[in-house]
Chains A and B, each alone.
Chain A
């Protein structure tokens, strides 16, 4: 798992350097996210790009075609073609966040992954974002999704920092206290 993340980070760094030179890093991030969305929605395309018995040249052609269809620019098309050709398309779910992190660091911002039991209202998102910005001293981009396994509240993760405001966390802490006596 660590080796996989290391590989993903190397690809992300290389793309980030080229994107910085062309000054299109945020756009590249969005294009990558769009491509990843297409792959998630189209499992056949994902399978075709990750199966090792499909020729490297064919994988590259498919990746470039899908990227073009997803509206990606030349840089992202070439990058995805290279990733597919090298047989690393299965690393894309790790490459995209790693790239986003690098772009966010450039822009002095961070992404907060928020899992909540019920959808947060706009006011709650605003308040949470503002408080996180004050606490961490950088702009926060909230990425929220509803997790029905949570009882109540939310869990926010910014990089390695995890803020547990869920009922599940409180109950888990209570269970530990009870078990300790």
Chain B
């Protein structure tokens, strides 16, 4: 920057000399007292330019550099913050994943437990039903057998009564009475 300014100042200082030389019809630079004036002129211009242009420009440039540095720092900080937040989010996502995994595992375990419990209960209920049905069936069979025996015995006895009533003669009655009398002492 300062190099540009110096080149600009040199060109400005040379401009009057060139003009003077062209007027006098000599070379580019005449080694006379105008040179001193030109040098003083140049020095004054340099001072003036330095005072009015260079310093504010340098100040502005520094200010700008500071602002840019600050922006860079802020951007760096923002990037760091973003990185931290990203890391934090990643950690949170990781934790959420882990938690979800744990919840899923717990839910699966609970579901398996519930399923096992339901299966056990269903199995027990089925066993109970089978046992009950078996007991009922046994009871029914026993009752049916008893009823059948009762009916058969009633039938047999009814037939026997009919046959006996028809076939009994007086001597049979006498014999039955005699047998019954003979059993009386045993009963007593």
Contacts and interface: CB of A to CB of B under 8 A. Distances in A.
Interface of A: 116-118, 120-121, 124, 127-128, 131-132, 134-136, 151-154, 156, 163, 165-167, 171-172, 174-176, 178-181
Interface of B: 145-146, 149-150, 152-154, 156-157, 160-161, 164-165, 168, 170, 172-174, 176-181, 183-185, 187-188
Interface of A is mostly: helix
Contacts of B152: 178
A166 B178 CA distance: 11
A132 B186 CA distance: 10
A152 B187 contact: no
Contacts of A180: 149
A165 B183 contact: yes
A152 B156 CA distance: 18
Given A136-B188, A178-B152, A131 B181 contact: yes
Contacts of B173: 117-118, 152-153
A84 to B, nearest CB: 41
Contact of B157 (A117, A118, A171): A171
B157 A175 contact: yes
Contacts of B160: 171, 174
B120 to A, nearest CB: 42
A153 B183 CA distance: 12
Given A132-B188, A165-B177, 15 more contacts: A124-B181, A132-B184, A151-B164, A151-B165, A153-B177, A154-B180, A163-B187, A165-B176, A166-B180, A167-B164, A174-B157, A176-B153, A179-B149, A181-B145, A181-B149
A132 B184 CA distance: 7
Contacts of B181: 124, 127-128, 131, 165
